[in-house]
């Protein structure tokens, strides 16, 4: 299955990347012309972003397919840094850590750190991974959706880097394999390693929020529903991967990572609505390994829900503060 998938995706995506780059003069010219009636730089920025992505992936594929020795952690940092610079310069988007976030020294515990991050739309995960891997210099392990295997660079990187792909499988085998992968990666962590998970499993939307609460009701988790109903910026965290990671890495600290998102209301955005002139504000909190209730599923669920409610409340407060600041700025400008 893997070989068949790659026989299709690798040449197809490589050919598409070549086409995108070869047609750059034409597409850039058309985009520039469209900017005039649209009174927006978005068309030009969109094309420039596609060109940057194609250039990065096309240069990366031969290195991933090659047989030579490679420092794979260094390659990951290089790719993340190139992606971060492309988005920062093309879209004028930056990532900023809020004062009071976890200092770098506390991210290098002897057992590594398990980072539980909010996920809210395409693009934010790249900035989060960049922050951990490049800015803080951690060796990154990531749990990703299996759909990203359709992206050849990510698929091939999974042969060399500790990446776990989570997705549905026949008779539950996909979930079992994913859990085993998370356990193996977490078990191998030492100081300087960071395992990045997105507990919600998918981007927030109001419909997904209702559906997640409905599943909890159907499962009989009435108390969880009561706790999670108050959270209107995040989805209820899923316990499977988190429990696997915490059990396999008993000495790992836990870091909760909240961020402001790329929209005015702090929630998800459509893929086509690119963020421009935005700042992704990040806030992290750390829980020492000894304070995590690893060996009691009920206690872990309550603890995680409480911590995730703090994440949700931080987002709400940040959004409100941003709105007030925007109102003050508008009033001052007026």
Domain boundaries along the sequence of the chain: 1-69, 95-322
Closest CA to 63 of 151, 160, 130: 160
Q: Regarding the domain delimited by 95-322, which CATH topology (the fold level of the hierarchy) does it fall under?
A: Glycerol-3-phosphate (1)-acyltransferase (3.40.1130)
Predicted model pTM: 0.91
pLDDT in tens, the chain (334 residues): 788 999 999 999 999 999 999 999 999 999 999 999 989 999 999 999 999 999 999 999 999 998 677 899 999 999 999 999 999 999 999 999 999 999 998 998 889 999 999 988 767 889 999 999 999 999 999 999 888 899 999 999 999 999 998 876 434 456 788 888 999 999 999 999 999 999 998 888 888 999 999 999 999 888 889 889 999 999 999 888 899 999 999 999 999 999 998 888 888 777 677 889 999 999 999 999 999 998 888 888 899 999 999 999 999 999 998 888 777 554 444 4
Query: What are the residue ranges of helices labelled H in 92-188?
Result: 124-130, 152-157, 173-187
What span, in angstroms and rounded, lies between the C-alpha atoms of 126 and 200? 17
- Residues in contact with 299: Cβ distance below 8 Å, sequence separation at least 6, in sequence order: 293
Q: What is the pLDDT of residue 328?
A: 57
**Burial bucket for residue 81 (CB in 10 Å: 0-12, 13-18, 19+):** middle
């Amino acid at each position: 299955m893997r070989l068949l998938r790659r026989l299709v995706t690798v040449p197809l995506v490589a050919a598409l990347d070549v086409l995108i780059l070869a047609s750059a003069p034409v597409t850039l010219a058309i985009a520039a012309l469209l900017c005039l009636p649209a009174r927006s730089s978005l068309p030009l920025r969109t094309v420039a972003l596609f060109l940057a992505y194609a250039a990065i992936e096309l240069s990366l594929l031969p290195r991933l397919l090659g047989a030579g020795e490679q420092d794979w952690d260094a390659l990951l940092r290089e790719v993340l840094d190139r992606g971060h610079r492309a988005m920062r310069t093309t879209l004028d988007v930056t990532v900023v850590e809020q004062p009071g976030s976890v200092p770098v020294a506390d991210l290098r515990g002897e057992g590594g750190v398990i980072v539980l991050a909010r996920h809210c739309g395409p693009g934010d995960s790249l900035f989060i991974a960049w922050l951990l891997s490049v800015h803080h210099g951690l060796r990154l392990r990531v749990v990703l959706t299996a759909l990203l295997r359709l992206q050849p660079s990510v698929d091939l990187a999974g042969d060399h880097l500790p990446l776990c792909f989570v997705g549905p499988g026949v008779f539950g085998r996909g979930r079992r394999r994913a859990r085993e992968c998370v356990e193996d990666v977490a078990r191998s962590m030492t100081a300087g390693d960071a395992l990045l998970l997105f507990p919600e499993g998918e981007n927030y939307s109001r419909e997904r929020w209702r559906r997640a609460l409905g599943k909890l009701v159907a499962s009989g988790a009435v108390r969880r529903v009561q706790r999670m109903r108050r959270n209107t910026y995040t989805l209820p965290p899923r316990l499977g991967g988190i429990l696997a990671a915490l059990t396999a890495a008993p000495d790992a600290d836990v870091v909760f990572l909240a961020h402001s998102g790329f929209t005015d209301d702090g929630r998800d955005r459509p893929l086509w609505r690119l963020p421009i002139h935005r700042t992704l504000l990040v806030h992290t909190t750390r829980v020492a390994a000894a304070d995590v209730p690893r060996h009691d599923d009920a206690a872990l669920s309550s603890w995680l829900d409480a911590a995730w409610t703090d994440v949700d409340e931080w987002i709400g407060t940040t959004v409100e503060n941003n709105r007030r600041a925007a109102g003050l700025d508008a009033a001052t400008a007026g």
